[in-house]
Structure 1
Amino acid sequence: MSADERRAGALGLALSLLTVLPVRTGTPSPRAAAGALRWAPLVGAGLGAVAGLLVWGLAALGVPGLVAGLLAVGLLALGTRGMHVDGLADTADGLGCFGPPERALAVMKDGGAGPFAVVTLLVVLGVQAGSLGALTGWQVVAGTAIAVASGRAGFCWVARRGVPPARPGGLGALVAGSQPVWVAPVWWIVLAGTGFAVAGWRGPAGVALAAVLVVVLSAHTARRFGGMSGDVLGAAAELGTAAVLLLLGA
């Protein structure tokens, strides 16, 4: 298989894993999944642009900004099968419980939403919606694309080499330790530069805040859970997106 074919396959797998698009790829190998993770920011940029267009269109129709922002957040959740939002909720519940890593992982696997999950979802998604509603014009499209891409760049840091899977099975175990440590920083640098072109200092400041939050989240969850999981990937995506939108909409 040529390099171009491998890249096309990795992008197709990224679309299949990270969106609701009906892309057929078969059972992913660890190598293919690692390649797909590196395409995640580009897939996120596409999702963000669509959500931004929705906000722009609704604003043109006179829909209040907060309502438009909430609908865009809902569209992003729909476009990703809600798995990143679910990961954020499960990570919050896992971090909020007492006991050894096994206890935290059991809470995360339970599937219910405890008080930590509910409050975290309200705050993080509320920040996203309110910030989206504060953006205007073409900046809402470009800004949302940068924000969602920045959150997905966090995947590559959470799954960096040296971080083991917290438990066997699932996407987390498939991609744990698969990413060179430079991949996420390179994406963040590129997105910071793009953000400066779109929103001045607020763009790179938002991307920097997203990077800091993801680095802290990854370090804390690796200690608390004994490694990384697919839920932490979702939490990184939602926190990173919220951070960039917060600075852009301030």
Structure 2
Amino acid sequence: MDDIPPHPQPARLLDGVRFAFGTLTVLPVRVARWDREAARRGMVCAPLAGLAVGLFAAAVAGVLLVLGAGALLAAFAAVAVGAVLTRGLHLDGLADVADGLGSGKPADEAQKIMKRSDIGPFGTVTLVLVLGGQAAALSQLYAAGWAYGAAGGAVAAVVARTALTLAARGGVAAARPDGLGAAVAETVPVRTAYATSAVVALAAAAAGALFGWAPVVQFAAAAVLGLAAAEALLAHSGRRLGGVTGDVLGAVAETAGTAALVVLALG
């Protein structure tokens, strides 16, 4: 675990928001504090960063639709905006985890593969499938109308960051003593992590209620199943790698968001 010195003052909600936006987006937010308490609040506030990313992506997609673009182009643009606003870090983590787990090597060797700057065949194929799946699912949502696509994309982005809150809960140890994974590992109390997930699921259901009763169930299911998919990857990564890393955080976020979009597209 990183030796992060304690701060003399307790962290405020604003410190957590700054931590979340400063570490999870490229938005010009200065991280005023970098300590365990700020990390705890920041990981609880991670869904807010996801909401901002989702709304930015929806705005760009909306402009393209107004200009006459089709649903597929709007969906590709939304996916691109999401990648840009996160510096591509989550996608990079997904590719690294795919290479590390796909290698079949022991934990130490798999982590060395993940720390390389290049992307191997497993990572390349995973990125193509995930990005293609996200764009395909979003295109179906935007084909039903901008509002439906915007709501679905925003919910998926929030679910993706909620997976980070769960991954930072107590009992999920860091695989290495350094890096972002170590900085945020086990900072969020278990009850707080699950309570945050429940609030997000209810918020997703509320978003679905804007379009009728059936979407209430579907949007809530997208949140629950998206987080379940992320939890499955988190558990597998923990067994294979010995704990959570920054790459694993990125991978679980992309997994949760993609699974949520797929569930929404099935309707």
TM category, shorter: over 0.9
Q: What is the identity, as a one-letter code, of the residue corresponding to 1:56?
A: G
Query: Is residue 215 of structure 1 aligned with residue 231 of structure 2?
Result: yes
Amino acid of the residue matched to residue 106 of structure 1? K
The alpha-carbon distance between structure 1 residues 137 and 68, as it changes in their structure 2 partners (threshold 3 A), is closer
Match of 2:184 in 1: 175
| Deviation, structure 1 residue 93 | 0.7
CA, structure 1 residues 127+182, in 2 after alignment: closer, same or farther (shift >3 Å)? farther
Q: Distance in 2 between matches of 1:25 and 1:49?
A: 22
Cα distance, 1:215 vs structure 2: 1.3
Maintained 8 Å contact 2:90/2:247: yes
Which amino acid in the other structure matches residue 44 of structure 2?
A: R
- The amino acid that maps onto 1:239 is T
1:29 partner letter: D
In structure 2, list runs of 5 or more residues that go unmatched: 1-7, 209-214
Question: What residue is the counterpart of 2:44 in the other structure?
Answer: 38
Runs of 4+ in 1 over 6 A off after TM superposition: none
Structure 1 residues 17-36: aligned runs within 5 Å = 17-26=23-32, 28-36=34-42
Superposition RMSD in Å:
1.7
- Residues 56-95 of structure 1: CA distance to partner in whole angstroms, max 9, x if unpaired? 2222322122222112111111101111111111111111
Q: Which residue of 1 aligns with 2:161?
A: 152
* 2:235 is the alignment partner of 1:240: no
Note if contact 2:58-2:150 (Cα within 8 Å) is conserved in structure 1. Answer: yes
* Correspondence for 2:221 among 185, 205, 208: 205
Instruction: Say whether the 8 Å CA contact 2:19–2:33 is kept in structure 1.
Output: no
Equivalent residue in structure 2 for 1:162, among 161, 168, 171: 171
1:84 alignment counterpart: 90
Query: Could you list the per-position Cα deviations for residues 192-236 of structure 1 after superposition, in whole angstroms to 9, with x for gaps in the alignment?
Result: 223223232210111121121111111110110011001111111
Amino acid at match of 1:96: G
Structure 1 window deviating more from structure 2 (216-225 vs 159-168): it is 159-168
1:61 to 2:29 alignment:
no
Once the two structures are superposed, residues 5-36 of structure 1 have per-residue CA deviations (whole angstroms, 9 ceiling, x without a partner) of 71111111211111112222256112211211
Distance 1:52 1:20 in 2: 17
Contact in 1 for aligned 2:15/2:33 (Cα 8 Å):
no
TM-score normalised to the size of structure 2?
Answer: 0.88
Cα distance in structure 2, aligned partners of 1:236 and 1:147: 13
Answer yes or no: is the 8 Å Cα contact 1:84–1:237 preserved in 2.
yes
Q: Secondary structure at the residue paired with 2:119?
A: coil
Match of 1:119 in 2: 125
Count matched residues: 249
1:65–1:30 distance in 2 versus 1, CA, 3 Å: same
Is the partner of 2:45 in helix, strand or coil?
Answer: helix
* Aligned ranges 1:97-116 → 2 under 5 Å: 97-116=103-122
Please say if residues 19 and 80 of structure 1, whose CA atoms lie closer than 8 Å, have aligned partners that are also in contact: yes
> Displacement of 1:104 after TM fit?
0.5
The structure 1 residue matched to 2:193, chosen from 161, 184, 188, is 184
CA distance in 2, matches of 1:148, 1:72: 11
Partner of 1:224: 240
Deviates more, 1:18-27 or 1:30-39: 18-27
Identity %: 40
Range that drifts further, 80-89 or 134-143: 134-143
**1:34-70 CA distances to partner (integer Å, 9 max, x unpaired)?**
2111111011011101112222222232212222211
The 3 A distance-change label for structure 1 pair 119 and 180 is same
Query: Structure 2: which amino acid aligns with 1:149?
Result: V
Would the aligned equivalents of 1:55 and 1:132 in 2 still touch at CA under 8 Å? Answer: no
Q: Does the Cα contact within 8 Å between 2:100 and 2:113 map onto a contact in 1?
A: yes
Match in the other structure for 2:212: none
